[in-house]
Structure 1
Amino acid sequence: MLLRTRIILFVFATLAVVAGLLIGVGVVRDGEANQRARDLELDRLGVAWRLAVTEAAIRIDQDLIRLTTDPALLRAVAAGQRGALAERMSVHAGGSNPIADVNLFGMDGALLYATDPAFDAPPLLTKPLLEPVLAGRGRVRGVRLLDGGQQSARTRLVAAAPVYGTTLEGGGRVIGAAVAAVDLSRALDILRDNTGGRVFAVGRDGTLLDGGGDPLWPLVKPLVVLDGRGLLTLDAAGRRYALASLPVADLAGGRAATVLVATDVTATLAEQRLWSIAHGAAVLLLLLGALALLYGYLLRNFAVLDEAVRALQAISQGRAMGYVELPTGNDEIGRIGGAVTVFRGVMRELERTAGQRDRRLRRQQRFIRRQMETLAVTLEEDARQSLLDELRQIEADAQDAASPQSKGVGDELGLLALGFSRLATRVSTQQVQLTQMVRDLRDALADKRRLISLQQELEIARTMQLSILPQAFPESSALDIAARMIPAKEVGGDFYDVFPVGEDRLGLVIADVSGKGIPAAFFMLIARTMLRAVAESGVGPGETLRRVNTLLAAENEQMMFVTVFYAELDTRSGALCFANGGHNPPLRVTAAGAVSVLERSAGIALAVMPDMPFAERRIALAPGDRVILFTDGVTEAFDANGAMYGDDRLAAAVGGPEDAPARASLDGLLADVARFADGAPQSDDITVLVLRWCGAMGAAAG
């Protein structure tokens, strides 16, 4: 077998082993990547399900707010009057927005009222589950598996809220609990909208709860896994779906149901197959290209060696005078011809030095072979073309008899070894760069996942903050109230509040915390809670702001402050008593459209200095008067050119005769601010509260 044939077979076997290792490593890596992708998909869908449950529960909370702010219902709960509760709940059930399924509980956990008329109707929540609500420690939300009664479905989405007594029943003390439930399909519909997948739900015993009308259900049904979460694939109508199983926990413990989400992954799997085929083809092309390059190189260089061997054989056979023509450019042939005449004299010397030459050649050949094995990697197109050009240049230098670097076979091998060493260095450098790029990409993906998670948490915080602010206001023919807060960031530092202070007084609050974002939102919650708690004691606006200021300034390590305007309206006479803690003074608009600024009262922002006095002022509202409470986010709104909205535009927007409801006035003002900004970024939170006093006219109309 020829030497070049053995070299080609050896290199082919080596490259085949390397290619097999590369493919094996790729298969293992793809398997690990697929497992991580499945875990991430399950985590994503789990978060989407929890968000859907939270959003559906927040909608239930809006219904509970209507119940827990009904004074007649609160008195019936405090007295435990089941008949009065049933009568009052019939009013809510017959309204424009009835509540479907409600339980009312007393302070002792006894069921006082249930929408379900069945005699043995089970409560929506048991007493142990109600304990945190009755203790005033928060709300309860989640999924419940109900048995018996006349429930339209056994698996329900439940939300519970504490019922606080009015001033006559104990002020802000918890006197009971209100529980509302809706069908689980509400959360499932939200999950469909958020994920874009095909959603199904089955009960704990495998009974279908939702999604039976989907034509995909007959294929999903045999794959349902009731225990634990998992991710399977299925084929339907030429499409591939990833079927995720998400267990739904019961508030009482255990599993209430299982949610199944089918996502179309046909395009993703097809792309993965194309990448696998491309990877295999690239490895194969690399192997064939390396073999072709090696074969061409050996064929070209061994041709010269063959001619030299034949010339030496002719000399050894006594044909020293014969003429042997070797390829052009190999001037060693001329030297061999001249050395024939002295061949006998130098034979022994050649035999002695032949061993040294052979050992040196073998070392160089082994070095070249190792460098060639190092090059058995995939290169980019530009690097591959540069490699071929450098090889051609090395071969040209080795064959150029006039080159000072070309002095013999040994020098040719040394030149090739030096060239291959440079090529190996280039390939190694490229590999290090690719490894660093992969590491940077992995870090970027991790940062992106953390950013998405943070954005989701901020969106939840925004929804919760907006749900805390009053959305429904006391219904009275004597007054009309509307309010809205638009945060500049995900969460804001502005807030407003409307709450009863005794039987004939109504507290009105608007405030602006220094700064924006999460710190301002936390400080807002603290200030709002303290102000409501102090105001309900009935000490008046000035004393209320003094006490709250002292409490906030006591432990204000972050040096934050809040400007507050607090007023108390006498709902019988229309007298408005107010105090101002460094806030923008509200505007008063008469029925004729005249605009004036309420008189400023002495007072600084809260939490700056403790034990500061706050003066009170009092005005009498006439029928048709409007009072506009606002934060500086309105007057300090900017357009794209940097111009500010200002007090004059505000007065012009709210001025003029108007007999529209408070909601229309509020919407008109906010729309005017939006038109002025014309798409410019919002620089501060915008909060507006509009009070319209109807007075005797409203009472007569009632």
Structure 2
Amino acid sequence: MLLQTRIILFVLATLAVVAGLLIGFSSLREEAANQQARELELNGLDTAWQLAVAGAAGRIDQSLGRLAGDPEILRALVAEERGTLTARVTALGLLSGRAGQGGADKGGETVSDVNLFAANGTLLYSSDPALDAAPLLNRALLDPVLAGQRLARGVRLLDGNRLIVMAGAPIYGAVSGDGVVVGAVVAGLGFPAALDVLRKNTGGRVFAVGRDGSPLDGASDPLWSAVRQRINPADREMQLLRFDGHRYALASLPVADLAGGRVATVLIATDITLAMEEHALWSVAYGVAVLLVLVLALGLLYGYLRQNFTVLDGAVQALQDISHGRAMGYVELPSGNDEIGRISGAVDVFRGVMREIERTAGQRERRLRRQQRFIRRQMEALAVTLEDEARQSLLEELRQIESETHDADSSQSRGVGDELGLLALGFSRLATRVSTQQVQLTQMVRDLRDALADKRRLISLQQELEIARTMQLTILPQVFPELAELDTAARMIPAKEVGGDFYDFFPISEDKIAVVIADVSGKGIPAAFFMLIARTMLRAIAESGVGPAETMRRVNNLLAAENEQMMFVTVFYGELDLRTGVLAFSNGGHNPPLRVTRDGAVIELERCQGIALAVMPDMPFAEKSLRLDAGDMVVLFTDGVTEAFNGSDTMYGDARLVEAVGRQVTASAREGLDGVLSDVARFTAGAPQSDDITCLVLRWRGAAGA
């Protein structure tokens, strides 16, 4: 075989091997790029699904806000009134009926499921009409909500076959001036609502199947016949399928339940027919281009060898002629036109080619470095918009990426694609942080809006409480009748806007005056309501003239009969005969009044049998009486006077009260009242008032006849 033929065959084999390796490496790189593209597409679709669930949960938040902010629902939750909760939720019109697996709720502010829980976790209301309706959340998921934390939004499997998107929130109430969790509200929306948002966001054809592969949504789509043959519910993957002349990328995304575990699979089919056709055309074009380059290279090589081997052929022919004795065949060869020279020429050609390749590679490397510097500046500019901690973390990651790039350059272990992959990773992390910060800012704006709404409601409540305070004070007697026999003064100072103490002074006949002082258990609005009820009943029964003991007994029975809140009231009730100065009285667990005689002695009125009203029905009450001497003063008070504390947590006490009352021997009723209350105020010296303070002072001047 001729030398030129061997060289041509060797070069041909070499080029074929190189071409095969190039095509193989290109195929492997293309497959890796396709795998990375599929993973990125799955991540993007997974994010789109999370956004779809968040969008559906956002619609639920509107209903949660209306339920959690409704005062009637708040009151019914505290009182655990199931009937009131049912009526109020129905009146709000939030329920749109349950959305099945084949359709979605189209309302803007309606939900398909609602649960209301008490603070102890008891289910007080469920939109499920079944008698043994299961709660939307089990106790493990409900406890964080009752602890005042926001419930993570997500998908929930109910009744073993019904999927909903749900969200929950705690309900806060005002008790003793502090906002505490008094219950929780959980609402759900049909699972197809999230699928509709996903269709809108992705523009693809969306399907959903259960854990067993049964269709939940999209079965009416003609593409379903091809999709159901590719369903693998437990895997997160991207598949290719053909249908009706089109090619689709089918993504499978498992859906997790709030309690853990897979409950469904969402499938998204995207038409990639045009992209696949374009890719096929580029592949064919690439193959044809490689083949043309090989043919052209072989043709040029063959021509080059044929041209340069012509002299050698002549020399060989001349040698053959000489060997056969034919000198005429001798051909003088040009100098340097031997095989070594030709090989040297070929090496020079290859050296020039390699020099051009290196120059081109250097230009490409410099261009890549400029691009990397530009990308880093852009990433640093974006990092400025992040919070300090996130910005420092991102800059540290950039430094790590640069370090890995330098290591790759020094070790020659990475290529341009690896460096671009590192930059792509940095961009991905930056995008994640920017998205996270945007979500946090959105949540902060929503929380600020809720706080402003709560502030407006608080201001409204304070205005209403001030009106209630004014009304309560006007109910109690402020001006006492001018009597020749009796001088009277009284005052009630509530610890909060409204109080539970009260006093009263009213005639029950032409010759008898009733005096009352009482203290309801607790403070605030509940005590004020109970005070009004007790005062009304006491006045109504006392005016019948049955006497102190019988009056107390009847009032006790009436209050105890309807006392579901287990409240009670201590009462001192007396009837003063203006003709004789005899004070008949009965005491229901109240502090005994103090009597100040003309000589300055302070005597506690005799105690008599009787417990606080509303504790137990049919309890006996004793009745005592005493005759007042002209000039005697009687001071009635509640425990808010004796149990007042100063800044050192020292109690005012009975001894100080006796001393203060003893100094009012010659004072009028108004002066004596002011003297006692002023002494209490000096003692507390601006310390917070812990209980209602009420005091009533009587100065007996003597019978009219005397």
> Which TM-score tier does this pair reach, normalised by the shorter chain?
0.5 to 0.7
Query: Could you say which residue in structure 1 is the equivalent of 2:353?
Result: 423
- Does the alignment pair 1:282 with 2:289? yes
Query: Could you say which residue in structure 2 is the equivalent of 1:464?
Result: 443
Alpha-carbon spacing, 1:455–1:215, altered in 2? closer, same or farther (3 Å)? farther
Query: Could you say which residue in structure 1 is the equivalent of 2:114?
Result: 102
Q: Check whether the contact 2:208–2:267 (CA below 8 A) recurs between aligned residues.
A: yes
Query: Could you say which residue in structure 2 is the equivalent of 1:654?
Result: none
Q: Which amino acid aligns with 1:426?
A: E
2:277 to 254, 270, 275: 270
1:113 to 118, 125, 128: 125
- Does the alignment pair 1:206 with 2:213? yes
Alpha-carbon spacing, 1:258–1:450, altered in 2? closer, same or farther (3 Å)? same
1:70-102 Cα distance to aligned partner (Å, 9 max, x none):
112111111211122122222212799554421
Residue aligned with 1:165, SS:
strand
Q: Tell me the CA shift for residue 131 of structure 1.
A: 0.6
Residue aligned with 1:172, SS:
strand
Q: Tell me the CA shift for residue 324 of structure 1.
A: 6.3
- Does the alignment pair 1:163 with 2:171? yes
Q: How does 1:240-251 map to 2 (within 5 A)?
A: 240-251=247-258
Query: 1:94 & 1:160 partners in 2: Cα distance?
Result: 15
Alpha-carbon spacing, 1:211–1:458, altered in 2? closer, same or farther (3 Å)? farther
Q: Tell me the CA shift for residue 316 of structure 1.
A: 5.3
Q: Tell me the CA shift for residue 414 of structure 1.
A: 3.6
Q: Tell me the CA shift for residue 188 of structure 1.
A: 1.0
Q: Tell me the CA shift for residue 296 of structure 1.
A: 0.1
Query: 1:313 & 1:158 partners in 2: Cα distance?
Result: 98
Alpha-carbon spacing, 1:18–1:412, altered in 2? closer, same or farther (3 Å)? closer
Q: Check whether the contact 2:76–2:85 (CA below 8 A) recurs between aligned residues.
A: yes
Q: Which amino acid aligns with 1:123?
A: P
Q: How does 1:66-465 map to 2 (within 5 A)?
A: 66-93=66-93, 97-147=109-159, 154-167=162-175, 171-315=178-322, 320=327, 322=328, 332=335, 413-431=343-361, 437=368, 438-439=416-417, 441-465=420-444
Query: 1:538 & 1:238 partners in 2: Cα distance?
Result: 78
Query: 2:198 & 2:341 partners in 1: Cα distance?
Result: 74
Query: 1:68 & 1:163 partners in 2: Cα distance?
Result: 5
Q: Which amino acid aligns with 1:93?
A: G
- What's the TM-score, normalizing by structure 2? 0.53
Q: How does 1:485-634 map to 2 (within 5 A)?
A: 498-501=456-459, 503-505=461-463
Q: Which amino acid aligns with 1:262?
A: A
Residue aligned with 1:209, SS:
strand
Q: Check whether the contact 2:60–2:109 (CA below 8 A) recurs between aligned residues.
A: no
Q: Check whether the contact 1:46–1:246 (CA below 8 A) recurs between aligned residues.
A: yes
Q: Which amino acid aligns with 1:51?
A: L
Q: Tell me the CA shift for residue 140 of structure 1.
A: 3.3
Q: Which amino acid aligns with 2:88?
A: R
Query: 1:472 & 1:66 partners in 2: Cα distance?
Result: 15
Query: Could you say which residue in structure 2 is the equivalent of 1:401?
Result: none
Q: Tell me the CA shift for residue 184 of structure 1.
A: 0.7
Q: Tell me the CA shift for residue 28 of structure 1.
A: 2.1
Query: 2:202 & 2:365 partners in 1: Cα distance?
Result: 34
1:145-194 Cα distance to aligned partner (Å, 9 max, x none):
1118xxxx7111111100001356x6311111000011011111111111
Residue aligned with 2:461, SS:
coil
Structure 2: gaps of 5 or more residues: 96-107, 369-415, 465-494, 498-706
Q: Check whether the contact 1:242–1:263 (CA below 8 A) recurs between aligned residues.
A: yes
Q: Tell me the CA shift for residue 30 of structure 1.
A: 2.3
Query: 2:251 & 2:94 partners in 1: Cα distance?
Result: 41
Query: 1:257 & 1:239 partners in 2: Cα distance?
Result: 27
Residue aligned with 1:500, SS:
helix
Q: Tell me the CA shift for residue 113 of structure 1.
A: 0.7
Q: Tell me the CA shift for residue 461 of structure 1.
A: 3.1
Q: Check whether the contact 1:140–1:159 (CA below 8 A) recurs between aligned residues.
A: yes
Identity, in percent, stands at 49
Higher mean alpha-carbon deviation, 136-145 vs 103-112, is at 136-145
1:369-401 Cα distance to aligned partner (Å, 9 max, x none):
xxxxxxxxxxxxxxxxxxxxxxxxxxxxxxxxx
Alpha-carbon spacing, 1:16–1:88, altered in 2? closer, same or farther (3 Å)? same
Query: 2:110 & 2:193 partners in 1: Cα distance?
Result: 16
Q: Tell me the CA shift for residue 27 of structure 1.
A: 2.2
Query: Could you say which residue in structure 2 is the equivalent of 1:552?
Result: none
Alpha-carbon spacing, 1:316–1:226, altered in 2? closer, same or farther (3 Å)? closer
Alpha-carbon spacing, 1:184–1:202, altered in 2? closer, same or farther (3 Å)? same
Q: Tell me the CA shift for residue 412 of structure 1.
A: 5.6
Alpha-carbon spacing, 1:25–1:433, altered in 2? closer, same or farther (3 Å)? farther
Residues paired across the two proteins, number: 407
Query: 1:433 & 1:143 partners in 2: Cα distance?
Result: 54
Q: Which amino acid aligns with 1:210?
A: D
- What CA RMSD, in Å, does the superposition of the two structures yield over aligned residues? 3.3
Q: Which amino acid aligns with 2:355?
A: T
Query: 1:420 & 1:206 partners in 2: Cα distance?
Result: 62
Query: 2:236 & 2:288 partners in 1: Cα distance?
Result: 37
Query: 1:243 & 1:236 partners in 2: Cα distance?
Result: 12
Q: Check whether the contact 2:171–2:181 (CA below 8 A) recurs between aligned residues.
A: yes
Query: Could you say which residue in structure 1 is the equivalent of 2:3?
Result: 3
Query: Could you say which residue in structure 2 is the equivalent of 1:21?
Result: 21
Query: Could you say which residue in structure 2 is the equivalent of 1:362?
Result: none
Q: How does 1:477-488 map to 2 (within 5 A)?
A: none
1:341-375 Cα distance to aligned partner (Å, 9 max, x none):
xxxxxxxxxxxxxxxxxxxxxxxxxxxxxxxxxxx
